[in-house]
Amino acid sequence: MTRPARAAVAGVGYSPLTRRSGRSVLTQALEACRAALDDAGLEASAVDGIASFMLLHDSVPAQAVATGLAVPGLRFAVDAQLGGQAPCYLVGLAAAAVEGGHADAVLVFRALNGRSGARVGTMAFPGPGAQYRYPIGYDAYLMYVAMWAQRFLLETGQGPEDLGAVAVAQRGWAADNARAVKRQPLSLDEYLASPLVVDPFRADDCTTEVDGACAVLVTSLERARDLRHPPASVASWAYRAGPRSGLDIGDHLLWRDYTRNYTTYLRDELFARAGVVPADVEVAEIYDCFTSTALMGLEGLGLAGRGESGGLVRSGGTALEGRLPVNTHGGLLAEGYLHGMNTVAEAALQVQGRGGPRQAPRHDVCVVTSGALMDGSALLLTTDR
Amino acid sequence: MSPEVASAAPEADADSQFYWDGLRRHQLLVQQCARCGEHRFPALPACPACGTPGGTVVEVDARGCVYSWIVVHRALVDRFADQVPYTIVVVELEAGCRVVARLDPATAVAGDLPVLGHYVDHGDWTELRFRAA
């Protein structure tokens, strides 16, 4: 099953992350994509693939970005109607397209006015499951993740201190990240003293919605070796929707086990394909729209034992000097909610050794996840070995 | 309309109409697979366990245990702002399937708490709600 990496992330780019951009989503998408190309040292004319995702049309299609970049044409284009499940999945698809000869250079981006425009946090998700949620006030994504978190904490014997430890640790990382929108320190006491928003979540358990864009450039490993920075090889990727995954993004009534998300289901395939085991992982960028999903991801991937993820974070194990640096950008909690595209970009920066003051000392193997509940995706990025 | 839940009526579809009609008559109706016997909720045109299309609509006891819960302290949507705090529970029914509902404000919530359903009539729909059994 193990096979050598043949594609890589060669560059990353961002537009500024703000609370009110005052700019169109397309302007920001183009800025991030141009930045990723500049970062890699590639001309826009080399781009022949673009992939992106949106929720309820909160973004712009690949076609518009191709037009704005004046690329000669597209051989590969994906506009996925997905949320945070998408970034690793789309990078994986881009890698597959490159490996299969269907594209040479693919931009994968997420762009949105996620704070000043349509906000996912209060968006009503249409679908066959909607009729059971909205009439009773079960009406926000945060509530669905909170519902899983409550059972997860109950069964794994964890509690508010464990959730809070994630918020505190990631704020610590964000202090060294100029892009992050929440950089002020947070103590566990401050966390515990703050009011519950939706039990078991407080405000600091929740991602920070922003306006902005992020893009990464995927090309062949061979080509990436000749570009500006060392490649972050796509050693493996996996998408998984677990069994009984429900009727829409907000429906989880058929899912049996709220203490295990898609990471449990994709773990074996993800690691086996790259010929590594969880203990080989040196940096982890775990999707964290809420604190609980970071804990669940650590346990689901086997990076922490069942019920031991909170302890790992509380002991400092996920900080710069810890056993496993986690969410080195501050995560979606503190850097901002670009639905995990920025989490993939941070993983690439870490593998490339470009993490600056937050660079993990060992960074040959990095795992990244995208998604929170029934379905999601993951990547293993590695140095060019 | 109940002063407690000033909610918009659910938008039933062709698959779920029987469920809402059942609540109106104070009956809890779910589907049961003709092949594997699994009770299912939400309404679905096929069994999520074995994929068999169709199924029989059956009445089940509105009785079960709290599988998980949240307490909403800050409403995300304005029309529920005057109702906080309120508790939403996912109840595992004795029939095996799960439903999501409000918990009666007088019930102290806990994991695996035994609960019993009752019916709250609003102007144009009926809500299934739970309290301690």
* Residues from chain B contacting residue A195 (CB–CB below 8 Å): 73-74
Q: Does the pLDDT value for residue B3 go beyond 50? A: no
Question: How much is the pTM?
Answer: 0.97
Percent of chain A's residues with pLDDT above 90:
96
Token reading at A112? 């949105």
> Is A241 in CB contact (< 8 Å) with chain B?
no
Say whether pLDDT at B5 is over 90. Answer: no
Report CB contact under 8 Å: B76, A135: no
Model pLDDT, residue B21 = 98
Q: Per the CB < 8 Å rule, is A147 touching B70?
A: yes
B83: chain A residues, CB-CB within 8 Å: 137
A122:B8 CB<8 A: no
pLDDT tens digits for range A206-249? 999 999 999 999 999 999 999 999 999 999 999 999 999 999 99
Q: Give the pLDDT of residue B7.
A: 56
Query: Would the pLDDT of A37 be above 60?
Result: yes
Asked whether the beta carbons of A366 and A286 are under 8 A apart, the reply is no
A197 closest CB neighbour out of B5, B9, B74: B74
Interface contact A209, partner B, CB < 8 A: no
Who among B10, B13, B41 is closest to A135 (CB)?
B10
Sign of CA dihedral A255, A258, A259, A262: positive
Q: What is the mean pLDDT of chain A?
A: 97
pLDDT tens for residues A162-172?
Answer: 999 999 999 99
Q: How far is A182 from chain B (nearest CA, A)?
A: 22
Give the pLDDT confidence score for residue A1 in this predicted structure: 52
Q: Copy the structure tokens of residue A50.
A: 């673009």
DSSP string, A33-91: HHHHHHHHT--GGG--EEEEE-STT-S--HHHHHHHHT-S--SEEEEE--STTHHHHHH
Residue B1 has pLDDT above 90, yes or no: no
Residues of A in contact with B71 (CB under 8 A): 196, 198-199
Per-residue pLDDT for A114 more than 80? yes
State the pLDDT confidence band at B4, using cuts at 50, 70 and 90. very low
Where residue B6 falls among pLDDT bands split at 50, 70, 90? very low
Q: What does the pLDDT average to over B61-73? A: 98
What whole-number distance in Å separates Cα of residue A149 and Cα of residue A134?
Answer: 20
The letter for the amino acid at A12 is V
Residue B77 pLDDT grade (very low, low, confident, very high; cuts 50, 70, 90): confident
Instruction: To the nearest 10°, report the CA torsion of B123, B125, B130, B133.
Output: 90
Residue B2 has pLDDT above 80, yes or no: no
CB contacts of A254 in chain B (<8 Å) are 40, 42, 48, 98
Structure tokens at A309: 């993820």
A306-344, pLDDT tens digit by residue?
Answer: 999 999 999 999 999 999 999 999 999 999 999 999 999
Average the pLDDT over A125-138 and give the result. Answer: 94
Q: Which of A:71-90 have CB within 8 Å of B?
A: none
For residue range B21-52, list pLDDT tens digits in order.
999 999 999 999 999 999 999 999 999 999 99
Distance CA A381, CA A360 (A): 14
Mean pLDDT of B98-106: 97
CB within 8 Å of A92: residues ≥ 6 apart? A234, A237, A238, A239, A377, A379
Q: How confident is the model at residue A177 (pLDDT cuts 50, 70, 90)?
A: very high
Interface test with B, best of A133, A145, A198 (most B CBs within 10 A): A198
CB contact under 8 A, B5 and A121: no
Length of chain A: 385
The mean per-residue pLDDT over the stretch A156-182 comes to 98
In this prediction, residues A2-19 reach a mean pLDDT of 92
Instruction: Give the closest of B69, B73, B100 to A196, CB-based.
Output: B73
Q: Which of A132, A146, A247 sits opposite B70 (nearest CB)?
A: A146
Q: Inform me whether the pLDDT recorded for A79 exceeds 80.
A: yes
Whether pLDDT at A122 is above 90? no
Position A385 scores a pLDDT of 74
CB contacts of A122 in chain B (<8 Å) are 76-77
A269 inside 8 A of chain B by CB: no
